[in-house]
Structure 1
Amino acid sequence: MKARYNRISTPNQKMERQIAKQNPDEKLFNDIVSGSVKFAEREMGKTLIQEIKAGRINWVSVSAIDRLGRNLQDLINTLEDFENLGVTLRVDNLGLESRIDGKPNPTFKLIVSVMMNVAEMERNTLLERQREGIAIAKANGTYKGRMKGSVESNAEVLKKYKEVVKFLNRKQSLRNTAKLCNVALGTVQKVHQIIKQQEKVL
């Protein structure tokens, strides 16, 4: 059986463009989670791996390789897991499949390897530029980071994390809300505590 794995980082993003590429014989696995989360730790990522190990899935397609992950080592691990389990992976925007006639496709491996390394270099370069920019701004006295000791009011926190409030009001768990909104669990706990405090007042 074939499967299509789709991923968006936050509920505000649209998945339709990825789903539109679905073939009729593909089962959909849709995740709303940051690309930095390990594939094996994502809700639908875990489900897909279980289906593969059970022998129900042997072919997976994605719109782009970064749907599987943005962390270089985790992406390598995921691709190796697919290969070891005999899964053929198709990447739409490359027009390539990881296996041909049941054997590893060397062209696929080469191109994906180059792409992953370039993406990693770009991320590192961006982070370095950000650090340099902050250092220069601090030296010039123009850095606009939050003042040390400043605290957001409860109203500001709730306004800033509207999506978190929405999912908590829908009775989502704290961990699921953190994943759906792509925020830290501590942030969700803080918002949850503020909501509880307001309910007591009311």
Structure 2
Amino acid sequence: MLIGYARTSTLDQTAGLEAQLLDLAAAGCERTYVEQVSSVDVGERQELARALDNLRPGDALVVTKLDRLARSMAHLMDLLKVIDGKGASLHILSMNLDTGSPTGRLMLNVLGSVAQFEREIMLERQREGIAKAKAAGKYKGRAPTAKAKSEQVAELAGQDVSLSEIARRLGIGKASVHRILKAQKEIAATA
């Protein structure tokens, strides 16, 4: 059985999702699992987990592109272990690749390694560019969001609002709330 998996990162990408569904149907997928969630939110990819759970020996998980499935080479290898463990294979339509053959597995490893290499080179260039911009005084990073809300944190804490509730109301982390209150106590102790 061919089991399809389609994913987009946001709800706004309906055209991309529709294109994936059309391609998966044209490939002959009998069942397709669909979700709209970032690849980074691995814990949130429930439909991928369901697709993997439903694989049986001889089945194939079909995706339109590799980036719809895995976020890194390590993640891809973890997914392949699960797929292989089920006696199934992975088909990537855009690459015309099937891991059910030794050649397909080799090609996937080579292409995945090249993609990871490109990503690492891009990140290295980005770090170098940021360092140059900082040295030139043109890059200051993002503005701290929690410190800008110190007065609101103090006000809510004075109203006996819990740390969790303060964090939720202000859209900052609980650790940031704790850090702000601790700093304010230290300032008050030295004054």
Q: Aligned AA for 1:21?
A: D
**Residue in structure 2 matching 1:114, options 110, 113, 128:** 110
Contact in 2 for aligned 1:2/1:57 (Cα 8 Å): no
Whole-Å separation in 2 of the counterparts to 1:32 and 1:98: 25
Deviations 1:122-153 (A, max 9, x none): 1111111111111111111111423457738x
* Residue 27 (str. 1) matches residue 31 (str. 2): yes
Query: Structure 1 runs of 4+ off > 4 angstroms?
Result: 147-150
Structure 1 segment 1-202 matched on structure 2, within 5 A: 1-13=1-13, 14-23=16-25, 25-38=29-42, 42-52=45-55, 55=56, 58-99=59-100, 105-147=101-143, 151=148, 193=169
Contact in 2 for aligned 1:6/1:19 (Cα 8 Å): yes
Higher relative contact order (CA 8 A, sep 6+): 1
Query: In the TM superposition, what is the alpha-carbon distance from 1:56 to its structure 2 partner?
Result: 9.2
| Structure 1 segments unaligned to the other structure (5+ residues) | 100-104, 153-185, 196-202
Whole-Å separation in 2 of the counterparts to 1:151 and 1:32: 33
1:85 to 1:56, Cα distance in 2 relative to 1, 3 A: closer
Query: In the TM superposition, what is the alpha-carbon distance from 1:110 to its structure 2 partner?
Result: 1.0
| Larger helix percent | 2
Deviations 1:45-90 (A, max 9, x none): 11112222xx498222110122211221111110121112111321
Contact in 1 for aligned 2:57/2:86 (Cα 8 Å): no
| Structure 2 segments unaligned to the other structure (5+ residues) | 150-163, 172-191
Question: Match of 2:128, SS?
Answer: helix
Percent identical among aligned pairs is 32
Whole-Å separation in 1 of the counterparts to 2:84 and 2:128: 40
Question: Match of 1:7, SS?
Answer: strand
1:7 to 1:57, Cα distance in 2 relative to 1, 3 A: farther
Whole-Å separation in 1 of the counterparts to 2:12 and 2:129: 29
Question: Match of 1:15, SS?
Answer: helix
